[in-house]
Chain A
Amino acid sequence: MGADDLVGQLATANDRIVAPTWHGPGAGLIRADIGHRTPGCPCCAMRLDVIDGLMRTVRRATRPDRVFLVADQDDDLASIVYSVLSDSDLMRHVRLDGVAVVIDAVATATRIAATGSVGGGRDVDGLALADVIVLRRFGDLTHGGFEGLTTVLDEINVVGTRLTVGHQLSSTAAGDLARAVTGLDAWNHVPMVGRGPLRLVSGVGVTRERPSTILLRQTAPLDAAAVDAWLDRVIDSYGPGLLRLQAEFAVEGDVLPVRCHGVRSFAASYMSDHASASQHGESLVVLVGHGLDATDLASGFASTRVQ
């Protein structure tokens, strides 16, 4: 069971979930349609098939009010999220609510036992930025496999939750999963880092190969121009390796918080429509990516305070 099967079963379990069918017979033969805004530039790789398919799904008389992306581990989830967030046509119609990655728990645990790693490149990137990691065949894991897998996933992903399923999705599990997915609103506020009360995870698992997660927080009101300048510097310095940027800024003079989300070289800020942590003067930033320098990011963020 992969992402396609999972989405199909979720749609069966919950008639409020629409599983778009973008490809017909022979879909497995169709390759990802990857274009670049700048020829050859990996930071602006666009999944044109995702943009076109999603556009057709939402551009109709009755359109979905929430959008979740479900991908397999080897899909280039960072490129998919970049495409969805940065395409100007999609931005009018799609508010990204969450992303889920489906992995085979047994195969992944076996790979960890053999190599100490869940894989490289896009495999790890997708796991790092996911809001939900769906572990299929979880019940087949040995105790050692379970320990190894959860330890590595804890290091890679601190922003999401995990759900476990068997070989096939039971109706009960499908219902639980559907509720979990439809309850997500993860790309429109700062995620609950660590699956509970926020905890500081500065520099978790910092290696060039494995993405790290950094949480920045301050309670002083921020200067809007300084925040914009700092975000520009973050994109310039870390854009190519940035897998997820989410922030909520308590900006001086604004009653409601300013929110920001982004991936790679794209970031967008917008005024929140409801109150949250920053209404109490707290600003939060979560960054997931490769090569993040916690000291540099923390000092830059501190400099955005109103002087």
Chain B
Amino acid sequence: MKEMKGVAPVAIAVVIIVAAIAAVAAYVYLKPEEEVSPGEVELKFWNYWDGTNAQAIVALISEFEAENPNIHITNVPITWGELLPKLMATVAGGEVPEIAIGDLVWMSKLAGTGLLVPLSEFDDFEEIDYEDFYPEMRKIGRYNDKSYSLPVSANNLELFYNKEIFEANGLDPEDPPTTWDELLEIAQVCTDPDEGIWGMELYTGTGEGLTWQFQVYLWQAGGEFLSADLSSAAFNSPEGKRALQFWVDLIQTHEVSPPGPWGFFGQGKAAMVMDGTWMVGGWRPGGWAPITWDWGTAQMPIPSGGEPATNMGGEQIFIFETTSEKEAAAWEFVKWLTSKETQVKWDILTCFMPVRDSVAEDSLYLTWATTTEPRLVPFIECQQYAHARPMVVQYPEISDAFSEELQKALYGVVSVDEALASAEARVNEILAD
């Protein structure tokens, strides 16, 4: 090989490095401009709706585009677990979607970041009939007395039961339990260790799955999760102990509930489970996880002297600060999607719960629910008892810590009192940080 002499090699090295940097810079700054005719706006919409919900949103977007020919919306489906990390990456990179949805528990953080457009500052905000949204949902996405998001979909947790297991054990399949005592009784009757069938499935894994299920029992018993000023834990109370004792009884004392992986009900291995509205859409024939045996739904059984309660899940929609033109176009879409007329269509397509009073009372919607999918009725009736999870930025960390401490009682490692006391200590420490 002929050896290179002089400054040439160094020069070539410099050229290569400069070229590499230039290529990256060119990619970042000189990306071909999207071909947009004057007056037309391109928007990206990030959401984690999948299956039939994804088909529904795509159909609605086309409908909106037909009515608003100047606005083009690209639907970007991302999984639930990926959406927030991806959002963080794009925020750091300076390139955000114009519109996105978020889980309710993310909103306390997102609203305060200064990245979102305060929706209540739009001139025509009054026209959307804001008071028609359920009050618990209006609390979400509020920051400094401004609304940064609007409710777009909702769900809650109620009881699902396997009618065939009920019948096989001589129980009336049209008579689901209404109290905790009845739930325990039926669970005992249905449990069959030889067949691997459990009476009642509880969520015992680490994380929000456990926490948000347990909160239903806590609220039913009359307890609260955090103090009213959101500064400390409130679950270490007689009500909290009663709720946790009930879970420990189901798992440890009576062995009618399995500690462990989730999914027994869907495999036909559990007689009852508390699960979300979306599973009506999933488990029904033609759903995304159809099951062949007969099943029903009912309002969650309540403890004696307790009160009906459920946990409110769902999504809120929000707009990122970009240009005023894009923000205005995004606002048109958000208004349209959250309007009563669109929401009726959306809820019928997806089995989501109404977010507006007027939808829940709409005759078209009610006729559809009672005739086409009556198993949704307990969910619709109980949406009024849905509690919102506390709006604190530390909520995800609190939820994980809470679930880790409660697991110790569910696995029989510590007592109910000890588990709640250590959970209280950890939650208070996180809140004080």
Bind each other: no
